[in-house]
Structure 1
Amino acid sequence: MNLPSRDDIQRTFIDFPNDQIISYVDYFSEEKRSQCHIYSYPSLMPYCGSITNNFPGGLFKNVRTVFLHDEYPFEHEFFLRIVQSFPYMQELCVNNFKSQNRKHSDESSNDNQNLSVIKYFFLSELRLVDVHDDYMEEFLFDTKACLPKNVSLHLNYESLQRVTHYFARDVTRMNCAKIDMLYLYGERKRSNSLQEYFPNAEIHFSGFMGI
């Protein structure tokens, strides 16, 4: 597809003051579709959707709900940029099936010495149903993320089993203990180990949930 460049789009807003209009273009080759974001800055919208790796950043104090989607991996640094751009984010949905390129082991301190733990101060709902296992690790590893208490968490049950090593992995225990509502999609199977791993959570099993 012959898509306009960011500069092409910006030139269509020559009557606007500089830096008040932000734009960027994404093309999803697998989905065979494209999208163009055009918005005024600073933005007053409470919702920001279909954010990709091309997101240029900025400060959006009014946004409470964020939806991330891409056909390219979201690395740890990208999530740090998201938290910095949306400091009062309360709800986050991630849709990405691509494995991260820069992974960090939970076994070696050398792998984590330069890794910033991202603090999600106001997050109250987190949806990680349509994701690669890496993004579940991104949010459940206490070496990568610090979740607040009383978070509602939506996950695929089989993915959760893999990431937590069937509810026996230490690096995910701290964040799992902060969950107060757990919604599991896919296989319906309750176990004592699951409830012990999420000691403060009310657990619900649901059918498949897409985005």
Structure 2
Amino acid sequence: MDMFIESIPFLFRRMINLEELTLQLSVIMGTVFIDGTHIYNNILIHLQQLRIFNFCICTDLRIDHLVHHLSKYDIQRTFSNAIYQDVDCMVQYGCNRAVCHVFSLPFIFDYIGYVGNTFPSIVFIHVRRLFVCDLVPFEHEFFIRIASCFPLLEHLNIYNIGPQLKVSTKLKSDNSQMNSIVKYSHLIWLELECVHIDYVEQFLNETKTHLPSLTRLTIYYSVLCNVTENFTRYITRRNCIKVNQLNLVVGIIERSKDFNVYFPLL
């Protein structure tokens, strides 16, 4: 954060005639969230000719650096007089870290990371790569929202070691959203490296998720064997059949007739 305070104003004081700016910035191990006040005082005040400003700024800091746990509302209030365009934000707290995104709308960037259960219900039409993580489990409805809000997603990386909540058979039968199959039409690469086994089930089970374009899968071999029942389970085969690049975190492929049926392109 100190580097941001010191370097950014110096940089933009040399660009006083700039009329259009696109900025994507990540600040790791900062001491405070970068908000509307920081952006105005360190960037906008130096760019009086600026007409178009597209930005996405992520601050990742340790919680013990925070005096107060700021909410999304607290962050949004700092933009009231600073930026004359639509702005949104996300704030997420973990066990020892906090992540804040502030970004202009419409969102024009192809990547966003550290998205948790709470994110704005807007369409990120340009995003192709997404990293989702949270201490709170991701339920089926979360992945429905991801598919809806990121319709052109090609690369999804999931980090969540918490098991999904188990729902009763009656709830499943009464809840149409629980029964709906999530479709990621453009998803090419799925990373399931740091996840509970429930999320492997969530994505490989065709009764829950449809992945018609999946060609690259990152996963633990033992977990893959478990969920597919050693490559004999029918309802997890369809989402694997087009995979031509299997990235194993740990383990060595033991080829068998059943494995070759599952992954005919390997």
Aligned partner of residue 55 in structure 1, secondary structure:
coil
Residue number in structure 2 paired with 1:21: 87
Select 2:211's aligned residue among 113, 134, 147.
147
Q: Does 2:232 correspond to 1:172?
A: no
For these two proteins, the number of residue pairs brought into alignment is 196
| Aligned-pair CA distance for 1:79 | 0.7
1:115 aligns with 2:184: no
Change beyond 3 A, Cα 1:139–1:158: same
Provide the TM-score with structure 2 as the length reference.
Answer: 0.68
1:4 matched to 2:70: yes
Q: Deviations over 1:4-34 (max 9, x none)?
A: 122211111012357x1111221101xx111
In structure 1, stretches of 5+ residues that fail to align are 203-211
The answer to whether 1:67 aligns with 2:134 is no
Identity, in percent, stands at 36
Q: Is the 8 A contact 1:182 1:201 kept in 2?
A: no
Q: 2:23 — aligned with what?
A: none
For residues 200 and 150 of structure 1, what CA distance do their matches in structure 2 show? Answer: 13
Give per-residue Cα distances to partners, 1:139-184, cap 9 Å, x unaligned: 1001011111452111111111111122221210111213222122
Give runs of aligned pairs for residues 123-142 of structure 1, distance below 5 A.
Answer: 123-142=187-206
Q: Distance in 1 between matches of 2:104 and 2:254?
A: 47
How far apart in 2 are the matches of 1:112 and 1:165? Answer: 28
Relative to structure 1, is the Cα distance of residues 71 and 82 closer, same or farther in structure 2, using a 3 angstrom cutoff? same
One-letter amino acid of the counterpart of residue 210, structure 2: C
Per the alignment, residue 95 of structure 1 pairs with: 159
TM-score of the aligned structures, taking structure 1 as reference length: 0.84
Amino acid at match of 1:192: S
Larger radius of gyration: 2
Larger relative contact order (C-alpha < 8 A, sep ≥ 6)?
A: 1
On the 8 A contact 1:176/1:197 being kept in 2, the answer is: no
More helix by share: 2
2:118 aligned partner, one-letter code? N
Equivalence for 1:205:
none
Query: How much does 1:193 deviate?
Result: 4.5
Q: Hey, what's the Cα distance between the residues in 2 that align with 1:90 and 1:63?
A: 8
Cα deviations by residue, 1:103-144 (Å, 9 ceiling, x for unpaired): 588xxx959975111111111111111111111111100101
Q: Which runs of 5+ in 2 are unaligned?
A: 1-65
CA distance in 1, matches of 2:121, 2:257: 41
Counterpart check, 1:81 vs 2:145:
yes
Q: Distance in 1 between matches of 2:206 and 2:120?
A: 27
Q: Which amino acid aligns with 1:133?
A: I
Code of the residue aligned with 2:70 in structure 1: it is: P
Indicate the residue corresponding to 2:265 in structure 1. 201
Q: 1:112 to 1:195 in 2, by over 3 A?
A: farther
Answer whether contact 2:231 2:262 (CA < 8 A) is retained. Answer: no
Q: Pick from 38, 41, 44: which aligns with 2:102? A: 38
Q: Which residue of 2 aligns with 1:185?
A: 249
- State the Cα distance separating 1:196 from its structure 2 match: 2.3
Q: Counterpart of 2:107 in structure 1: which amino acid?
A: S
Distance 1:177 1:49, change over 3 A: same
Q: AA paired with 1:51?
A: V
Instruction: Supply the AA of the counterpart residue of 1:38.
Output: V
